[in-house]
Amino acid sequence: MMTVAPDRFTGFVAIDWSGAHGTTHPGIQVALCRSGNAAPMIVTPPGRAWSREAVAEWLLARADEPWLIGFDFSFSAPFVTRGAHLPGDRPTADARALWAYVDDSSDDPDLGARSFLEARRGTHFYFGAADGRKADFLHWRTCEIATDGARKPSTVYDAIGASQVAKASFAGMRLLRRLDGRLAIWPFDPVPPSGAVVVEIYTAIAARDAGRPKGRSKMRSADALDEALTALGSEPHDPLGRYDDHSTDAILTSAWLRTTATRADLWHPLGLTRHVAQTEGWTFGVS
């Protein structure tokens, strides 16, 4: 079994992502911390706000850094239970084929994927009551039902709601295609001996590990964020101009990655077979 050495990673990045239409996204926040116990810092975007393309460029320029980088979107779609990501659509044998299909089929600006989803509205993606019963669209990946039989509240086929799970994830797949071959993307790639590694995160897991009650994972004050950071062995954070969910989620999850980066059970969860790894991927933190 692969083990991650204590000094394998020296930087820990958490990125709160967005699938919103447009070319700049205040909802994208990037937090970075180093080894030790200093609190993560928000990384200043190159412009008024991050674009998805700017995030890709920022990471590609740091591909050789010994960093663990987490994104909070689903890296693939369910495959195992139905034998396809998009049954009846063009076959995609693994997640990389899905990334290529989404990227080649989307002409949205800034790595967006709204056109891909809208072209499949009512067939694969649920946008509202006109599409039929929402329950017919809800399918989960293996990692999303691996813990106590509980499911994530939404799936990648759900294209409505404030979280916009589908839009964020399919836009993210376009990003992964840009990063593929330049940065290791776990679990599709093994963890290499050096360089950056990208993993899928679910910020609610970090919040629960930091003592936040179930259903109250969001932190909207300095005190709430510092209490959670303290639970993860981190020093208090530098004050923020605004305590929005995107910034606090990124800061806390960056600190959480630092505390969990060497946990063998998170790199080798029980349900992560090779088939699951290549077709569906896995959320780091689900064991």
- pLDDT at position 149 is 46
pTM of the prediction? 0.94
β-strands 29-34, 184-185 pairing: unpaired
Average pLDDT value for residue range 22-32 = 94
Confidence band for 238, pLDDT divided at 50, 70 and 90: confident
- For residues 56-75, average pLDDT: 97
Both tokens of 97, joined, read: 């084929």
Q: Are 140 and 281 in contact (CB under 8 A)?
A: no
For the chain, the farthest-separated pair of C-alpha atoms sits apart, in whole angstroms, at 53
Report whether pLDDT(32) > 60. yes
What mean pLDDT value characterizes the chain?
Answer: 92
Residue 230 banded pLDDT, cuts 50, 70, 90: very high
pLDDT of residue 223: 82
Q: Is 45 in contact with 54 (CB distance < 8 Å)? A: yes
Contact by Cβ (8 Å): 280, 143: yes
The residue to which tokens 């239970």 are assigned: 81
- Per the listing, tokens 């699938």 go with 19
What distance in Å separates the CA atoms of residue 111 and residue 200, rounded to the nearest whole number?
Answer: 18
> Edge to edge, what strands does the sheet with 29-34 contain?
41-42, 29-34, 11-16, 67-71, 197-200, 184-185
Residue 34 has pLDDT above 90, yes or no: yes
User: Cα(17)–Cα(166) distance, rounded to whole angstroms?
Assistant: 12
The pLDDT tens digits of the residues spanning 240-265 come to 888 888 899 999 999 999 999 999 99
218-227, long-range: CB < 8 A, 24+ apart: 218/245, 218/248, 218/249, 219/243, 219/245, 219/248, 219/249, 219/252, 220/244, 220/245, 220/248, 224/248, 225/251, 225/252
With 90 as the cut, is the pLDDT of residue 239 above it? no
pLDDT tens digits, one per residue of 94-118: 999 999 999 999 999 999 999 999 9
Range among 66-75, 140-149, 227-236 with highest mean pLDDT value: 66-75
pLDDT tens digits, 139-198: 999 999 877 545 565 789 989 864 578 999 999 999 999 999 999 999 999 999 999 999
pLDDT at 217: 56
Q: What is the pLDDT of residues 124-136, one digit of tens each?
A: 999 999 999 999 9
